[in-house]
Amino acid sequence: MPKVSIIMNCYNGEKYLREAIDSVYAQSFEDWEIVFWDNASTDQTPSIAATYGCKLKYFRSTLLLTLGAARREAVLKATGEWIAFLDCDDSWSSDKLQTQLDALRGTDYVLCYAGIREIDHNGRLIREVFPQHKSGQLLEKLLLQFDINMVTPMLRRDVLEQYRLNFDENVTASEEYNLFVRLAAKGMVLALPKILGTYRVSAGSLTDRQISQWAVERYYTLEQLKQENPGIEERFLKAFKEAYARGDYYKARYLMTEGRNIEARQIMAGIVGQDYRYRLLEIVLYIPGLWGLVHGNFMKRRIGPWLINLFHAK
C-alpha cells in the first residue's frame, strides 16, 4: 500500500501531460502511486501514459464521463492512506508531498491544501494565491468563501470511507466544492501558507462553460450538508445564508449571459440585504458593459482578493 494515491483525471490532455506526470516523478517523497483515469481520450494521452513505469496505474473509460463521475471512479481505485489530485495541465513543486506529509504527521486533519502559482498558457506567471483561511474547523469559513484549489488538496482515504463520501456524479461544474465542504463538516482542515503547485489558467475553461450549473449545484451541495449533518444550518446560520445568496448571485450571472437582464435584476434584488457588495453588484447590473468587465478574466486575476472573493466561483 503506498502512502499517497495521486488521482490524475485526463481527457485529451496530451499538450501538458508529460510536464504534469514528470512533476510527480520528481517528488522528493517517493512512496506514491498514480491512479491515472483516462476519460475516453482520442489524442495521444494513452501512449504518453504508457511510457511511464508501474507506479502509474492506467485506467480507461469507454464512455466520456462527467468530471465528477470520472473523479469518483478514480478515487475508488486508490489504495493509499492519503489521496492527492493533479490534473493533466497542472504541476507540483518537487517538495509538495513531503511538505504536506510533514505538516500532517501526528495530526487528525481530514484535508490539507496549500497555495498555488497561476500561469497562463505560455507559462508566464499571473499571480500567486495563498490560502485565505487559517487551519482548524473551516466549514463556516469555506461556506463564506471557498478557496481550496484543485492542485494541492490531500484527503484521508479512511475518512472518505467512514462517512461514505466521494465525488458526486451528479455534479458537473463544482465537484471539488461539493466534496471538500462536505468533508470539512467532518473534521479539521490544514491550510498551508506555502506555494506547492502550479495551476494553468485557460480561457473558456470547463468551469466557465458550465456557468448554468453553478447555482443549481450550490443549492444541491448545501442540501446535502444539511442531510448529512442534522442541525448544521442552525450552527452556522450566517454562513448558510451567505452560501445560498452566493447561489442566487451565480443564477443572476447565468441569466445575464442569456440576455435575461430583467430576471437577473429580480434575483439580485432579493439578496441586496445580505451584503453591501450585492447592492453594488445590483447597480452594476444596469450597466451591462461594466458587468462584463467586472466578470472578465483581467478583473478576476489582477485586481485583488476583494473582487476575486465576490465575483468568482473559482
pLDDT (tens digit per residue) in 98-123: 999 999 999 999 999 999 999 998 89
Whole-number pLDDT of residue 134 = 95
Whole-number pLDDT of residue 309 = 52
* 177 Cβ neighbours under 8 A, 6+ residues apart: 146, 148, 217, 218, 221, 313
Grid look-up 469507454 returns: 62
Whole-number pLDDT of residue 312 = 42
In this structure, which topology does domain 4-202 adopt according to CATH?
Answer: Spore Coat Polysaccharide Biosynthesis Protein SpsA; Chain A (3.90.550)
Q: What is the dihedral of CA 9, 213, 180, 151, to 10 degrees?
A: 40
Whole-number pLDDT of residue 289 = 83
- Give the span between the Cα atoms of 42 and 92, in whole angstroms: 26
DSSP per-residue string spanning 213-238: GHHHHHHHHHHHHHHHSTTHHHHTHH
Whole-number pLDDT of residue 89 = 93
- Give the span between the Cα atoms of 101 and 259, in whole angstroms: 48
Whole-number pLDDT of residue 62 = 92
For residue 70, the one-letter residue type is A
CATH 3.90.550.10 occupies which residues in the chain? 4-202
Grid look-up 472518505 returns: 160
Whole-number pLDDT of residue 206 = 45
Q: In terms of DSSP bridges, do strands 125-129 and 56-60 run parallel, antiparallel, or are they unpaired?
A: unpaired
Alpha helices of the chain — where are they, by DSSP H? 14-25, 45-49, 67-77, 96-104, 139-144, 157-162, 175-184, 206-209, 214-228, 232-235, 237-257, 261-269, 276-284, 288-294, 297-302, 305-311
Grid look-up 447565468 returns: 254
Whole-number pLDDT of residue 287 = 87
State the Rg of the chain over Cα: 19
Grid look-up 476583494 returns: 306
Q: Which residues of the chain have pLDDT under 70?
A: 203-209, 297-314
Whole-number pLDDT of residue 27 = 98
Whole-number pLDDT of residue 314 = 38
